[in-house]
Structure 1
Amino acid sequence: MQHVDRIIHWVLSSLALETSVFHLGQYCGQWRASLAGRARAGYHLVLHGQCWLHVPGRQAPLRLSAGDAVFFLRDIPHHLGPSDDAAACLPVAVMQPLGVPLAGGTGLACGFFDFRAGMAEALLAPFPDYLVLPADAPAAPGIRALFELIEQEARHSGAEASPLVARLVELLFFYVIRALSAREEVARGLWPMLRSAEFSALVLELIRHPERDWSIEAMAARVHMSRATFCKRFAAACGEPPATFLQLLRMKIATRLLDDGAAIAQVAERVGYRSESAFAKAFLRATGLQPGAWRRRAQASTTASLAATQM
């Protein structure tokens, strides 16, 4: 589990996750809450009371209770409401401050996740559009403690949500990635490797030291296998040959370094390429862009985000 959690930590760092709070309060009577239509990932936390989750065309209405959470990795139609009848969930009631729980009321914390462009598509692509994390999930003790902290902080936030609420939700997202990576249907790429006791330690080494000369023989020796056995078992666990997986992992690390403003020659060296031109060719195959073009796009995105926050 330690290997898995370290890799998840690397993933979240690579995503440059930023969390914001959009709704924080409680509803009573007829109401409807949704984050859909904003082209962003989002979350709903049920702090007290109960409600129903409606995801048209995906599943039957699902009852949610205090301590349950829903995380949308992609923007899809959905809403929460007080009834299992979608038509009865009307946007009538106005959200009230949390304060003292209202009789029959539902306390919610809702908001958005923003990820680093490019990395999110690569690392989160194998996951489903959304995940319901119930209060009685295997990781419930940790989740429950976070929920209690979020609710306590929310009740003392006043009209404007405390920044600490968003930071606590980021911690909660760690449990989301852990739960998703354990799903058997996520059967390709990085995530199934985390379920493999024989390969998770190797993946952590590749992440920590992508600059090393990781030949097939070197990787096989790291897990104490012959070359043939290693290639066969690796491909069966990952869905990709070892060399392909290593190159994709190096390119994911390279995109993060470029996003952070590192020089192309430095990035090439740090991900194991002796030649800047060889790195550029591999990067172009993996991302469809030259390293310089990728970095300029990242810089333009950062500039636009800073300008937006100053408006």
Structure 2
Amino acid sequence: MDPLTSLLQEVRSCGAVFGRNLLEPPWAVRFADQGALTLVTLLRGEGWIVPEGTTGEERRYGSENRYGGAGGAVPVRLGPGDVAVVTGPEPFSITDDPAAATPPLFVVHPDRCTTADGCDIGEDVILGLRTCGNSEDGPTVLLTASYQATGRVSERLLGGLPRTLLVPHDAPDPVLELAAVETGRDAPGQQAVLDRLLDLLLLSTLREWFARPEACPPGWYRALGDPVAGRALRLIHARPERAWTVDALAAEAGVSRATLARRFTALVGRPPMAYLTEWRLTLAADLLARTDATVASIARQVGYRTPFALSAALKRVHDTRPVELRAATGGAPTADKPSTRA
């Protein structure tokens, strides 16, 4: 198992909110739903993603920012078929003209959609199931999907992404076309279908983004292509509970201890054992927050022989203990009782 697979297994859609928008210029839609991640695509027409706080000058000169950036407030242009990912809970808008500052047709909140002045949207905006807009025959078809992603594993993935990233597409994408059709359906199991479609769209978009020359992928992603560091990374993510040492990882990779340590550190940005500890504690933190497993059980799952060893590692690296971490995240009590989860 590679790191991207490990991360995406934890950042999976559950109850994704899909929306299809049929729009006639001028138009704008504001997103204030505090979603950790929002996928945006235009099936027809063109538009702009405008982060909150964009200045007038940035709105006028946003056309230079075609592929997204490292996290500024400059608008990002979307063409037909392009797929963008917006990360973080900060509000943003999508509009046909960033310089016009068009009032939003509606605002997406965590639990509802409203007009710009806070009133519930009416039938003039609701055009069908999961479909809104200002014209059923509008030349622009905007598809969005957002969901929450919580926990330390999610933070590792989202922390490696810019505020807005964009992957251009010049040819029709059958997955996008299927998503557009399924967004308007109301069949049994529909939410599960939409969730899995979003997972597929996110995975394919991230892989394409990381491979682009303008991207700056995290060290662990760059290291995956290396036969030595990549092999060690896959072993760590596949078997975090194993009693790994640098010697053991080097033997599996078929190189000397010194070679593994040098290649891994150069590509990933930290030594193998430091990365292993970081990954184990990331997994432990999410297990403490999301399950009722005992600390002893969690310790064994992530590679610590005793709960005391896990507690000491958390204290040393994050200055916290399992009971404190679980209480802070609202997780289950830490009493050593039988668990309903492995």
TM-score (norm 2): 0.73
CA offset digits 1:58-99 (Å, max 9, x no partner): 743544233222211113453222225342x33358364469
1:132 to 166, 186, 193: 166
Does the CA-based 8 Å contact 2:228-2:255 persist in structure 1? no
2:309 corresponds to 1:278:
yes
The equivalent position to 1:65 in structure 2, one of 63, 76, 79, is 79
Q: Secondary structure at the match of 2:150?
A: coil
Shift of residue 279, structure 1, vs aligned partner: 1.2
Q: For residue 79 of structure 1, what is the aligned residue in structure 2?
A: 93
In structure 2, list runs of 5 or more residues that go unmatched: 64-74, 106-123, 333-342
In structure 2, the residue corresponding to 1:178 is in which secondary structure? Answer: helix
- Residues 86 and 242 from structure 1, CA distance in 2 versus in 1: closer, same or farther, beyond 3 angstroms? farther
Matched position secondary structure for 1:34: strand
In the alignment, residue 15 of structure 1 is paired with which amino acid?
V
Contact 1:19/1:169 (8 A) holds in 2: no
**CA shift in 2, pair 1:94/1:167, >3 Å:** same
Alignment of 1:249-288 (within 5 A): 249-258=279-288, 259-288=290-319
253, 262, 267: which one aligns with 1:237: 267
CA drift at 1:19 = 5.0
1:174 aligns with 2:203: yes
- Residue 28 of structure 1 corresponds to 24
Q: Please state how far the C-alpha of 1:123 moved relative to its aligned partner.
A: 3.1
Q: CA deviation at 1:102?
A: 4.8
Q: Which one of the candidate residues 212, 236, 244 is aligned to 1:206? A: 236
Residue of structure 1 aligned with 2:141, choices 98, 103, 107: 107
Once residues 111 and 187 of structure 1 are traced to their aligned partners in structure 2, the CA distance between those partners, rounded to angstroms, is 24
> Residue 294 of structure 1 aligns with which residue?
325
Moved more, 282-291 or 56-65: 56-65
State whether residues 33 and 80 of structure 1, in contact with CA within 8 Å, keep that contact through their aligned partners in structure 2. yes
Tell me, yes or no, if the aligned pair for 1:187 and 1:239 is still in contact at 8 Å: no
| 1:307 aligned partner | none
**Cα offset, 1:263, TM superposition:** 1.3
Q: Measured at CA, do residues 201 and 227 of structure 1 come closer, stay the same or move farther in structure 2, by a change above 3 Å? A: closer
SS in 1 for 2:28: coil
1:305 corresponds to: none
| C-alpha distance after superposition, 1:11-39 (max 9, x if no partner) | 11223543522532311132111214636
Retained in 2: the 8 A contact 1:53–1:79?
Answer: yes
Pairing partner for 2:278 from 239, 248, 255: 248
On the 8 A contact 2:4/2:221 being kept in 1, the answer is: no
For 2:125, the aligned partner's letter is V
| Aligned AA (1:11) | L
Give the TM-score normalised by the residue count of structure 1. 0.79
**SS class of match (1:252):** helix
* Matched pairs, number: 287
TM-superposition CA deviations, 1:185-229 (whole Å, max 9, x none): 2343x3332242332232121122122221111111121221222
Distance 1:123 1:200, change over 3 A: same
Could you list the per-position Cα deviations for residues 90-113 of structure 1 after superposition, in whole angstroms to 9, with x for gaps in the alignment? Answer: 3358364469x9555211222322
Q: 1:48 to 1:166 in 2, by over 3 A?
A: farther
The question of whether the paired residues in 2 share the 8 Å contact of 1:45 and 1:68 is answered with: yes
CA offset digits 1:32-53 (Å, max 9, x no partner): 1121463643222222233233
In terms of fraction of residues, the more helix-rich structure is 1
Query: Which one-letter code corresponds to 1:196 in the other structure?
Result: D
Match of 1:48 among 44, 48, 52: 44
Unaligned runs of 5+ in 1: 302-311
Distance 1:162 1:24, change over 3 A: farther
Amino acid at match of 2:103: L
Secondary structure of 2:125's partner? coil
2:194 to 150, 158, 165: 165
Percent identical pairs in the alignment equals 26
Counterpart contact for 1:30–1:90, Cα < 8 Å: no
User: RMSD in angstroms over aligned alpha carbons?
Assistant: 3.0
